[in-house]
């Protein structure tokens, strides 16, 4: 049957697929609009299956915060190439996914994918449409949510790194942004030393022991030196114990206490594309 330009354009507007792909979808579906949409999604599924072994290490990492500054999300929408990651339409798609995450606050990535994208299709369905349109592996690489008395989100220029920081009480926008920038720049593994997981601690201690022995230190000194190196790790790699990047004469904890005695960071999420 003859397919009109108006029908092709309508399908293109809804799915974002190319004109020729939309025309073929309508032809294969005998003009049935919903069947044509399904045809394009199936094409995306085929592309996804063919590219399942590809690495999606590029993409867009975003942080978004609710208007009351009580909740923030960090979302990474990944793709294969830097070319796609910098495409305006792809960035807009990632923005929409992050907005849905912020609005609905799903528990995890699977729950996020199951949410409606625009009322007609799910987020997962929309990903399939995008895969069919772009021809690359596209997926949600990371999703996390932060709830606190006050939160701030920060996206590093280039959309490859984002953080969400929660505070135990209200702070000024300047203080919040500075701590978020600290977390972005200095890549802490945890908020404080008690928050570092046991696996990381054991790994750091084992590395310290081995390097100490390699330096020829006496065996009875190894554990003491290893503990000293672990304390140095805490100072370098936990947010509250790091030197404050604006004034390295104080730690982040000391800076926050100078703002208000019991002010501290209660939550932290950071994600960066490697």
pLDDT given for residue 140 in this prediction = 95
Asked if residue 67 and residue 38 are part of one domain, the reply reads: no
Q: Tens of pLDDT along 213-232?
A: 998 999 989 999 999 999 99
pLDDT given for residue 96 in this prediction = 96
pLDDT given for residue 44 in this prediction = 64
Distance CA 138, CA 6 (A): 29
DSSP track, the chain:
----HHHHHHHHHHH---HHHHHHHHHHTTT-HHHHHHHHHHHHHHHHHHTTTS---EEEEEEEE-TTSSEEEEEEEEES-HHHHT-HHHHHHHHHHHHHHHHH--SSHHHHHHSBSSSSSBHHHHHHHHHHHH-S--EEEEEEEEE-SEEEEEE-TTSSEEEEEEESS---HHHHHHHHHHHHHH--SBSSGGGS-HHHHHHHHHHHHHHHHHTT--HHHHHHHHHHHHHHHHHHHBGGGSBPSS-TTSBHHHHHHHHSTT--EEEEEEEE--
Task: Extract the residue ranges of the chain whose pLDDT is less than 50.
Answer: none
| 232 within domain boundaries | yes
pLDDT given for residue 56 in this prediction = 79
CATH number, domain containing residue 77: 3.30.479.20
Domain range for 13 is 5-50
CATH number, domain containing residue 45: 1.10.8.10
pLDDT given for residue 258 in this prediction = 97
Asked if residue 151 and residue 66 are part of one domain, the reply reads: yes
pLDDT given for residue 25 in this prediction = 81
| 172 within domain boundaries | no
| 186 within domain boundaries | no
| 16 within domain boundaries | yes
Asked if residue 109 and residue 66 are part of one domain, the reply reads: yes
pLDDT given for residue 130 in this prediction = 86
| 174 within domain boundaries | no
pLDDT given for residue 144 in this prediction = 97
Asked if residue 199 and residue 215 are part of one domain, the reply reads: yes
pLDDT given for residue 46 in this prediction = 54
Asked if residue 256 and residue 200 are part of one domain, the reply reads: yes
Number of domains forming the structure of the chain: 3
Asked if residue 154 and residue 199 are part of one domain, the reply reads: no
| 33 within domain boundaries | yes
- From the list 191, 187, 179, the residue with the least C-alpha distance to 154 is 179
């Amino acid at each position: 049957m003859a397919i009109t330009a108006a029908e092709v354009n309508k399908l293109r507007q809804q799915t974002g697929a190319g004109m020729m792909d939309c025309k073929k979808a309508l032809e294969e579906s005998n003009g049935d609009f919903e069947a044509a949409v399904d045809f394009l999604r199936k094409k995306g599924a085929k592309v996804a299956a063919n590219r399942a072994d590809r690495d999606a290490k590029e993409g867009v990492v975003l942080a978004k915060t609710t208007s009351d500054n009580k909740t923030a999300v960090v979302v990474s929408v990944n793709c294969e190439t830097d070319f796609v990651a910098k495409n305006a339409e792809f960035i807009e798609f990632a923005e929409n996914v992050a907005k849905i995450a912020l609005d609905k606050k799903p528990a995890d990535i699977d729950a996020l994918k199951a949410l409606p994208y625009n009322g007609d299709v799910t987020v997962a369905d929309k990903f399939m449409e995008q895969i069919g349109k772009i021809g690359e592996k596209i997926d949600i690489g990371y999703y996390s949510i932060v709830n606190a008395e006050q939160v701030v989100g920060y996206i590093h220029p280039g959309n490859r790194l984002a953080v969400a920081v929660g505070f135990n009480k209200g702070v000024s926008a300047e203080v919040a942004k500075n701590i978020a920038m600290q977390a972005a720049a200095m890549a802490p593994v945890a908020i404080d030393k008690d928050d570092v997981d046991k696996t990381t601690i054991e790994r750091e201690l084992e590395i310290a022991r081995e390097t100490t022995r390699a330096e020829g230190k006496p065996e009875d000194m190894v554990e003491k030196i290893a503990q000293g190196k672990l304390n140095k790790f805490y100072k370098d790699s936990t947010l509250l114990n790091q030197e404050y990047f604006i004034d390295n004469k104080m730690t982040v904890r000391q800076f926050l206490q100078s703002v208000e005695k019991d002010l501290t960071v209660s939550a932290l999420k950071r994600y960066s594309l490697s």
